Structure 1
Amino acid sequence: MNRAILILLMTFALSSLQAFCHEQIVIQLAKPNHTDAVKNQYIHDILDKSFAAMDADVVLLYNVKPMNNKRIVEQLSHNKTITLAWLSLPHEHADSLVKTTIPLYKGLHGKRLLIIRHEDQEKFSGIKTLADLTPLVGLQQQSWSDYTVLKNNGLTVNGELDYPGMVKALETGLGDYFPRSVLAIGTELNRLKQFNFVIAPNIMLQYPSDYYFYLSKENQHIRDMLEQGMQKLQQSGELEQLYLQYFGDVEKQFSLKQRHIITLKNKE
């Protein structure tokens, strides 16, 4: 009798464990701050393949309202509305959040090209140093990580405008340049093709910037699962294949190796 009960209990425990392992996990993501932004398929592929490598049933859903990075960190810290985000954050947030350990973009987010007016190409072709750039007015939002980096390096930055306002300021000459990631500038210029904008010739701003997946401490188990899945993808070479699939042509497209680099410090 005791043996039968023991077998029954073991069977029940095993079935409960299997049910838990295959329980569907819903992960809420922050909606991009620009309502017309396309889904980041690279990030989705990493998440899908990493969780699949752990045999986890995960559904990715976007939060209804757009959020900037400050709001995202706040919501993550309190484990509200969103579960996970990919961010580049200073070390001060380490106490309230947990993160994965593999950089998502290999530092490409720290490479910045400048969107300028077409007629200003000659002016920018003469810029070689940080001091050359200092008298000109850059455009960023204060909530964006670039704003702090640019200001800390002594550059003049207007951070008071929303995105349409920055575009208008650049168009009318109230701002001189709009630094954008090499990963996004192609799409962004295409979206702004009605304006007479181009990429500043010959130069590139660069500073240390690595993106990781961040989660609330309450979701440590999801972080651990994601970390293990990413490690498996890295070991199999699939993570590198994904990177090359999406970003292998970036250096060639914008001639990054031929550009003069203006190095910025990034105090983290």
Structure 2
Amino acid sequence: MWVVKHFFYLVLLVQFSPYVVAQTTQQAKPELQITLPVRQVKLQKYLSELLHVSLYELGYNLTLTMTPNPLYKRESRLLHSGKITMIMRLATPQRDATFHKIAVPLTQGLIGKRLLLIHQRNQPRFDTVASLDALRDSKLVGVFAPGWYDVQIWQANHLPYVEIASDHTTILRMLTDGNRGFDYFSRGSTK
């Protein structure tokens, strides 16, 4: 049960490269330029303030550019190519070894609280699910995009799922249409 309750810790990953520019001038704080894709408009102001204050305290003046957020896999490619310089991801040993992380609990743990989005016609099938064992026994199938961290959690807990290479909007539309081989879409409560 520990795996289900404690698997998410949101971090910002920064790839320091020639694309992240820190320039120093005499007696001035170094200038740090970051390009960050953000999916939710509400999150933009919060992240902007958090980054400006945090980096100022570390001795930097920040120039922050926020861009529309691409698909999950494309976002990682853009980071590696330098088109963006920071992404938000959950902490994993591989990411911790590859990137510099800013370990700030941005959502106060809410990202780890999962909501199962379902179609109302399936509500009776979910009414009896009150525990992990009940979810497992129900044979209800979840859906994720390839590479989502949730997949590891579902595997560790022996929960059935499918992976579909689509964005969350398309997956929601498929859930609404039904007959796609899955019954729910797990999302973080901050989404």
Give the structure-2-normalised TM-score. 0.69
Percent sequence identity over aligned pairs: 28
Question: Hey, what does 1:172 align to over in structure 2?
Answer: 177
Cα RMSD of the aligned pairs, angstroms, is: 2.8
> Which consecutive residues of structure 1, in runs of 5 or more, have no partner in the other structure?
1-14, 185-268
Match of 1:126, SS state, is coil
1:91, distance to aligned residue in structure 2 (A):
0.8
Give, in whole Å, the separation in 1 of the partners of 2:141 and 2:186.
Answer: 11
Distance in 2 (alpha carbons) for counterparts of 1:182 and 1:64: 21
**Which is helix-richer, 1 or 2?**
1
Matched-pair contact (CA < 8 Å) for 2:52–2:61: no
1:90 partner letter:
T
Q: Which amino acid aligns with 2:84?
A: I
Taking structure 1 as reference, are residues 65 and 107 closer, same or farther at Cα in structure 2, changes over 3 Å only? closer
Question: Structure 1's 164 and 90: CA in aligned 2 closer, same or farther, altered over 3 A?
Answer: same
Displacement of 1:177 in angstroms is: 1.1
1:117 alignment partner, one of 119, 125, 135: 119
Which residue, 133, 136, 141 being the options, matches 1:137? 141
Deviation at 1:88, TM superposition (A): 0.7
Per-residue CA deviation, residues 6-57 of structure 1 (Å, 9 max, x unaligned), is: xxxxxxxxx94224x2x5321111354xxxx425232222112223334632
Aligned mates of 2:133, 2:68 — CA distance in 1: 43
In the other structure, the counterpart of 1:194 is none
Q: CA, structure 1 residues 102+171, in 2 after alignment: closer, same or farther (shift >3 Å)?
A: closer
1:152-203 deviation line (CA, Å, top 9, x unaligned):
322221212413442233113333111111112xxxxxxxxxxxxxxxxxxx
Matches of 2:184 and 2:68 in 1, distance apart?
Answer: 32
Change (3 A) 1:56 1:93: closer
Partner of residue 183 from structure 1, selected from 166, 170, 190: 190
CA distance in 2, matches of 1:166, 1:67: 13
Contact 1:140 1:157 in 2 (8 A): yes
Report how many aligned residue pairs link the two structures: 162
